[in-house]
Amino acid sequence: MPPPQDQTVELNVAGAARTSDRRRRRWIWAGSGAAVLAAFVVALVGGVFDGVPLLNVSVAAVIETLAAVALVRSWLHPDRRWLRRALPLLVGSVIVVCAGTAVLLRVTNTITDAYPVTFGVWIGMALLALVGTPFTVARGLPARRVTALLAVPLTLAGGLMLIDQEYGVWPAVGDLFGRLPTVNAAVLPSDLAGTPRGSRHPVPHAGELVALDVPATASHFRHRPANVYLPPAFFTPARSTLPVLLMLAGSLGTPDHWPRAGQAVATANKYAAAHHGFAPILLFVDQNGSSTADTECVDGPQGNAETYLTVDVRNFAVNRLHVRSAPGGWGIVGFSEGGTCALDLALRHPDIYRHIIDLGGDDKPTFGDRAHTLSALFGGSDAQEKGHDPARLLATTRFAGTTAWFTAGTDDPRHVAIAQRFTVAARNAGIHASEFTGVGGHNWQFASAAFARVLPQLIPELSAANG
């Protein structure tokens, strides 16, 4: 028999109450999650977590484990259609997208260097977590919804930390937002460009990192803003004796990478603190024009990068910073593509740069494929390509008064071999050349440690030549 009408009404009311209660709990869960997420984003953007290190293997392992667990847990559901159809279709689609993207990046020469397969795996996991959220949140128990939502930031963080462990681009959270240490102004202040500071401007205890823009007067090269490190001695009469180092990052990098990931400012400040404020001026300039461009520091279809670095940058430093123009006090520190540039520029322009610090550079400016290199880098000129070949330059010219450092990481055997080969060739060409194998791979962990190791031995060479 059907229940009495009164009982039916009571059951309906109870059911409606339970439904309303479930909805209320969902809104509470959603509101609480949104509030926590908003607070986290505000704190993140506001710089609260800027000092939190990202290059921590243990922390990265914990986050990556939690991410994998959260993602897999969000997929567990008794619905067979989800497990047999929707989930395999979702996974397959993401694999196709990731594989297609990898092929496209390779074919278009956007990324020519090798990278671990795990990069693709983690990018795929992040996409799966993001794309799958509407399906996993729409059904299941609250615990499953929570893990599905958590899987998105966790997989993104896990992938980010995996990439960071490989390249060391972001030592701390603040580096993700491009927040440089102690940048003092948007442009070079006029009181830093004239005579050294007097009593009204006391000498700082540490060097100053100042934002600036080096105009491309002669080259008309499209470039990004730069920074300059001014040691404490810059603000004294000793300014005219200070050496200058051009600091070049690699392709897919920015001028900010040396101050942040390369820890060049911290290294220079440490040296200055032990040498009465004396340290080189560091020019962090742009040789590529964008994060995806690659000029290899030559004049050609990619822009007049060589003229920019040998004419515009030098003239700016001499005329605006009032430093000496003698080539013996000038050097180039370059990592990856920047290392290739350091060697090629100094060999082609020994009247401007006499000191080479090649950290993991290639053996010559190249895009990998010779035909593509010839057309895209040298405008089809065979003579230009040969004129930028360091091996040829070393075999045909003597370089009196030039010094060179060649180094690469232990986990980067290809560039170790290049460094060893060029050390011999440089010595045969009259260059005082040194070589060592640093710790790490083709990454900023290696570059920062190598620069810290070379600087104390390089400065006496710069100072002697500049004096």
pLDDT single digits (tens) 30-43: 566 556 667 767 77
Answer yes or no: is pLDDT of 56 > 70. Answer: yes
Of the listed ranges 104-118, 159-173, 206-220, the least confidently predicted one is 104-118
Cα 49 to Cα 23, 65, 176: the distances in Å are: 35, 22, 11
Q: Count of domains in the chain?
A: 3
Judged by average pLDDT, the poorest of 4-8, 153-157, 210-214, 240-244 is 4-8
Domain end, chosen from 174, 193, 208, is at 174
Q: Under 8 Å CB-to-CB from 409, ≥6 apart: which residues?
A: 360, 415, 416, 437, 438, 439, 440, 441, 442, 443, 446
170 or 390, which is more confident: 390
What is residue 57's predicted lDDT score, i.e. its pLDDT? 80
**Percent of the chain at pLDDT exceeding 90:** 46
Task: Give the model's pLDDT for residue 72.
Answer: 84
Local structure of residue 2 (DSSP, 8 states): P
Tokens describing residue 316: 């700016």
% of the chain beyond a pLDDT of 70:
82
**Which residues face 303 on adjacent strands?**
300
Residue that the structure tokens 């958590």 belong to: 150
For 383-439, the pLDDT digits (tens) are 999 999 999 999 999 999 999 999 999 999 999 999 999 999 999 999 999 999 999
pLDDT value of position 6: 57
Query: Which of the four pLDDT bands, split at 50, 70 and 90, describes residue 296?
Result: very high
Lowest mean pLDDT among 75-89, 94-108, 189-203, 405-419: 189-203
Angstrom distance (rounded) from CA 369 to CA 251? 17
- Residue 115, CA distances (Å) to 16, 60, 166, 442 in order: 56, 18, 9, 11
Angle between helix 117-137 and helix 57-75 axes, rounded to 10 deg: 40
Angstrom distance (rounded) from CA 204 to CA 191:
14
CB 222 within 8 A of CB 407: no
Q: Tell me which residue of 207, 209, 160, 204 sits closest to 180, measured CA to CA.
A: 209
Confidence of residue 200 (pLDDT cuts 50, 70, 90): very low
Residue 260 and residue 168 share a domain: no
pLDDT at 199 over 60: no
Tokens of 71: 């993602």
pLDDT at residue 313 is higher than 80: yes
User: In terms of pLDDT, which residue wins out, 133 or 228?
Assistant: 228
pLDDT at residue number 62: 87
My answer on whether 323 and 228 are in the same domain is: yes
* CA atoms within 13 A of residue 265's CA, in its CB half-sphere: 21
What does the pLDDT average to over 445-450? Answer: 95
Give the contacts of 275 (CB within 8 A, at least 6 positions apart). Answer: none
Residue 17 has what pLDDT? 62
My answer on whether 378 and 323 are in the same domain is yes
CATH of the domain at 265: 3.40.50.1820
Whether 52 and 42 map to the same domain: the answer is: no
Residue 154: how many other CB atoms lie within 10 Å: 23
Strand 330-335 versus strand 355-359 pairing type: parallel
Q: Do 330 and 463 meet the contact criterion of CB atoms below 8 Å apart?
A: no
Distance between CA atoms of 331 and 374, rounded to whole angstroms? Answer: 28
69-78 average pLDDT score: 80
Do 34 and 53 belong to one domain? no
Average pLDDT over residues 339-362: 97
Q: Is residue 195 scored above 60 in pLDDT?
A: no
Q: pLDDT band for 23, please (50, 70, 90 cuts).
A: low
CB 295 within 8 A of CB 287: yes
Listed residue (330, 289, 334, 333) closest to 310, CA to CA: 330
365: pLDDT strictly greater than 60: yes
CA atoms within 13 A on the CB side of 323: 28
Structure tokens at 371: 């035909």
| 87 and 226 housed in the same domain | no
Q: SS3 for 463?
A: helix
- CA 200 and chain centroid, separation: 38
Four-residue CA torsion sign, 16, 17, 19, 24: positive
Nearest to 360 by CA among 273, 466, 276, 248: 248
Dist. CA 312–CA 340, nearest whole Å: 20
Last residue of a domain, one of 174, 209, 238: 174
Contact 308, 286 (CB under 8 A): no
Asked whether residue 152 falls in the same domain as residue 65, the answer is yes
Say yes or no: 433 and 332 in one domain. yes
Same domain, 146 and 222: no
Domain end point (choices 174, 194, 219): 174
In a shared domain, residues 376 and 449: yes
Mean pLDDT of the chain: 84
Q: 306 and 338: one domain?
A: yes
Lowest-pLDDT choice from 105-114, 313-322, 371-380: 105-114
Q: Are residues 15 and 161 in the same domain?
A: no
How would you classify residue 336: left for phi > 0, otherwise alpha for psi between -120 and 50, otherwise beta? left
- Mean pLDDT on 258-276: 94
What is the mean pLDDT of the segment spanning 336-362? 97
- For residue 301, what are the domain limits? 181-466
Residues 323, 239: contact at Cβ < 8 Å? yes
